[in-house]
């Protein structure tokens, strides 16, 4: 009995042990890869739409929807690193790109994940191409940025010239350098590489601080024509270059309205010094996404507006970067820019539909094309082809200039053209304005365009005459009264 019982217990023990061993055998691989599984789960939920479920950079939101293309992790090539050219990125490098995003691309800064979750995603991303991560890499020391000084900026400029940064990035740093536009200028993934416009800080893919620039010139952007200068120049030289590059960055002034100053005569030339002195408003641009053909990946990211007016005339100047101009003679559409105003300014907040107006709110368009360097006036009341009409009487004068990757287009017109289809400018009134820009190189024309939202221009009303007359009069009266009192007192003493 006892024996039998014992035997049963033993049998039970064996079965239990067997089952436990069996369970462990099955579970061990799962437990050890649980971290990876969570990384995959998060990646599939949040990253794969662009970067692809297989890490090939071909998610359904890639292609025409993004420029540059999402990183193909299966290539094992990483642009943003603190390691020498050709080496694997550190985990921190991938974490930085995830946390900070890449300006000017569709990669946003991701803040919704915990540090653990980001780490798990990084581990998963590394599995798409494992060979890269089999080799150790020695990250370079960033050190601390030296304080900026004139001497440092001078040295930085010398290196910018000597290192031939301008051959691609252009002498003005707008990415207009000739070498950057050769046919071979492609990245490892076969798409065209554009040298960065160094004047527009919001487009620096790897970030625009002096530290970011130092990291970029040191490591290069692997997979692109941007080379590493780690061995070519000392840390000190690369810091000075980085400081110089930050000095090229323009100050972006965004807002909702531009105040327009009155001058004796609106300058007729785009390079008149009065324009440089005039205040400006920067308008962030985005692709036109409401009507076919849409533009998902615009290259023009900003237009700058300046404006001056006189007793009879208004001038509006639009400036933007175009790294390679198109005049319509290279098989691509001509570059162009168009200002849009409501025909009638409403007293309330009501404005026409933001793109080409609507049936009840027609718009007045000022349209300049690089191909013939002239501007015409148009009206539109919708997006269909016959909603747009060319005006027969043209009150527009235009002047344009392209140099160093930069367009300046100046429109001039009487404040009141006497045409009922035209906008009339009344000082003191907020007048809605928006801009549509067309980059021929991006096949932009018609509805495929880069657009701004509505902004305002306000012609500063002239200062009333009494402002100039009254204070001196009051002053004179005061002096006169004082003199009188003095005289009286003197007489009194005498």
Partner 1 sequence: MKKLLIIILTLAVSIAFTADIDAKKKKKKKGKYKVTEVTNGGSISGKALFAGGTPPADETKALTSEQSLCGDSLPAEKYLINGNKEIKNVVVYLDGIKEGKAVPKDKAFVDNVQCAFVPHVSVGYKGNEIDIKNSDPVFHNVHSYIKGKTTYNLGLPDPGSMVTKKMKRDGVMEVKCDSHPWMLGYVFISQHPYAVATGDDGSFTISDIPAGKYKVKAWHEGFGEIDLGKITVEAGKTAKVNAEFK
Q: What are the Cα distances from residue 203, in Å, to 196, 308, 347? A: 7, 29, 38
Binding range to partner 1, per CB under 8 A, among 183-191, 196-204, 283-291, 317-325: 183-191
Tell whether residue 38 is a contact of partner 1 (CB under 8 A): no
d(CA 469, CA 418) in angstroms, rounded, equals: 34
What crossing angle do the helices spanning 115-125 and 34-46 adopt, rounded to 10°? Answer: 90
Convert residues 162-181 into a mask of x (bound to partner 1 by CB under 8 A) and - (unbound): xxx--x----------xx--
Select 77 or 270, whichever has its Cβ closest to partner 1: 77
Q: State how far Cα 234 lies from the chain centre.
A: 31
Q: Is 188 in the site for partner 1 (CB under 8 A)?
A: yes
Residue (188 or 329) nearer to partner 1, CB: 188
Q: Nearest to residue 188, comparing CAs of 59, 296, 324, 74?
A: 74
* CB-nearer residue toward partner 1: 90 or 394: 90
**By CB under 8 A, is residue 296 in contact with partner 1?**
no
**Cα–Cα nearest to 203, from 164, 169, 161:** 169
- Token pair of 106, please? 């569709």
Spatial separation of the C-alpha atoms in residues 203 and 282, rounded to whole Å: 15
The number of beta carbons lying within 10 Å of the beta carbon of residue 458 is 16
Nearer to partner 1, 164 or 487 (CB): 164
- Residues in 114-143 at the binding interface with partner 1, rule: CB under 8 A: 131, 134-135
Q: Are 459 and 309 in contact (CB under 8 A)?
A: yes
351 exposure class (CB count in 10 Å sphere: 0-12, 13-18, 19+) = middle
**Shortest distance, position 27 Cβ to partner 1, whole Å:** 11
- Closer CB to partner 1, 93 or 222, in the complex: 222
CA of residue 384 relative to chain centroid, distance: 30
Binding letters toward partner 1, positions 85-114, x by CB under 8 A: xx----------------------------
How many whole angstroms separate alpha carbon 88 and alpha carbon 222?
10
- Pattern 16-35, partner 1, x by CB under 8 A: --xx-xx--xx-xx------
Q: What is d(CA 303, CA 283) in angstroms, rounded to the nearest whole number?
A: 5
1 versus 26: smaller Cβ distance to partner 1: 26
Question: What would the two tokens of residue 294 be?
Answer: 């849409």
Residue 309: how many CB atoms within 10 A of its CB? 21
Shortest distance, position 430 Cβ to partner 1, whole Å: 49
Smallest gap from Cβ 420 to partner 1, in A, equals 55
- Contact pick of 55, 68, 70, 76 for partner 1 (by CB under 8 A): 76
- Which of the stretches 75-83, 310-318, 429-437, 453-461 binds partner 1 when contact is defined by CB under 8 A? 75-83
Q: Which is nearer to partner 1, 38 or 179 (CB)?
A: 179
Please say which residue, 100 or 179, places its beta carbon nearer to partner 1. 179
For the segment 197-256, give every residue that binds partner 1 (CB under 8 A).
220, 222-229, 231-232
Residue closer to partner 1, measured from CB, 86 or 382 = 86
CB of 372 to partner 1, least distance (A): 30
Q: Give the Cα separation of 237 and 234 in Å (integer).
A: 5
Q: Which stretch in 77-85, 322-330, 339-347, 362-370 sits in contact with partner 1 by CB under 8 A?
A: 77-85
Burial class (CB in 10 A: 0-12, 13-18, 19+), 367: buried
Q: How far is the CB of 128 from partner 1 (least distance, A)?
A: 13
* Residue of 324, 169, 310, 359 lying closest to 249 (CA atoms): 169
x/- mask, partner 1, residues 445-464, rule CB under 8 A, reads --------------------
Q: What are phi and psi of 20, to 5 degrees?
A: -65, -45
Return the structure tokens found at 227: 């080379």
Interior CA angle at 165 toward 159 and 167, to 5°?
130
Q: Smallest distance, Å, CB 150 to partner 1?
A: 24
CB of 329 to partner 1, least distance (A): 20
| Listed residue (457, 462, 465, 464) closest to 429, CA to CA | 457
Question: Judged by CB under 8 A, how many residues of this single chain contact partner 1?
Answer: 42
Binds partner 1 (CB under 8 A): choice among 75, 310, 344, 401 = 75
Which residues contribute to the site for partner 1 (CB under 8 A)? 11, 14-15, 18-19, 21-22, 25-26, 28-29, 75-77, 84-86, 131, 134-135, 162-164, 167, 178-179, 182-185, 188, 220, 222-229, 231-232
């Amino acid at each position: 009995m006892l024996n039998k019982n014992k035997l049963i217990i033993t049998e039970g023990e064996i079965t239990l042990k067997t089952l436990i061993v069996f369970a462990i055998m099955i579970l061990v691989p799962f437990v050890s890869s649980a971290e990876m599984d969570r990384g995959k789960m998060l990646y599939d939920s949040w990253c794969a739409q662009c970067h692809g479920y297989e890490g090939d950079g071909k998610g359904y939101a890639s292609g025409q929807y993004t420029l540059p293309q999402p990183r193909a992790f299966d290539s094992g090539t990483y642009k943003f690193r603190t390691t020498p050219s050709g080496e694997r990125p550190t985990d921190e490098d991938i974490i930085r790109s995830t946390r900070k995003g890449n300006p000017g691309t569709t990669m946003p800064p991701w803040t919704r994940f915990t540090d653990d979750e980001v780490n798990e995603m990084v581990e998963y991303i590394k599995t798409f191409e494992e060979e890269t991560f089999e080799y150790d890499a020695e990250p370079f020391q960033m050190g601390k940025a030296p304080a900026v000084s004139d001497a440092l900026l001078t040295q930085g400029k010398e290196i910018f010239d000597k290192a031939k940064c301008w051959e691609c990035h252009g002498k003005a740093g707008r990415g207009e350098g000739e070498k950057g536009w050769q046919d071979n200028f492609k990245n490892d993934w076969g798409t065209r590489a554009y040298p960065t416009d160094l004047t527009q800080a919001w487009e620096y893919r790897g970030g625009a601080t002096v530290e970011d620039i130092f990291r970029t010139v040191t490591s290069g952007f692997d997979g692109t024509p941007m080379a590493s200068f780690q061995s070519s120049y000392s840390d000190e030289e690369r810091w000075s270059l980085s400081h110089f590059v930050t000095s090229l960055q323009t100050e972006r002034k965004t807002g909702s309205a531009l105040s327009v100053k009155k001058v004796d005569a609106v300058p007729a030339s785009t390079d008149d010094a009065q324009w440089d002195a005039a205040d400006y408003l920067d308008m962030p641009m985005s692709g036109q996404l409401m009507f076919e053909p849409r533009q998902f990946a615009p290259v023009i990211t900003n237009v700058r507006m300046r404006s001056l007016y006189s007793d009879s005339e208004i001038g509006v100047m639009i400036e933007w970067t175009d790294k390679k101009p198109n005049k319509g003679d290279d098989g691509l559409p001509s570059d162009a820019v168009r200002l849009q105003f409501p025909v009638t300014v409403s007293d309330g907040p009501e404005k026409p539909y933001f793109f080409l107006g609507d049936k009840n709110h027609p718009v007045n368009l000022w349209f300049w094309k690089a191909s013939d360097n002239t501007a015409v006036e148009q009206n539109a009341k919708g997006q269909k082809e016959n909603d747009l009409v060319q005006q027969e009487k043209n009150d527009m004068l235009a002047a344009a200039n392209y140099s160093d990757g930069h367009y300046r287009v100046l429109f001039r017109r009487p404040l009141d053209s006497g045409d009922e289809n035209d906008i009339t400018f009344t000082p003191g009134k907020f007048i809605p304005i928006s801009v549509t820009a067309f980059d021929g190189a991006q096949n932009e024309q018609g509805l495929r365009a880069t657009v701004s939202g509505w902004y305002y221009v306000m012609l500063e009303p002239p200062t009333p005459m009494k402002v100039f007359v009254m204070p001196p009069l009051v002053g004179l009266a005061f002096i006169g009264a004082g003199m009188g009192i003095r005289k009286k007192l003197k007489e009194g003493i005498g």
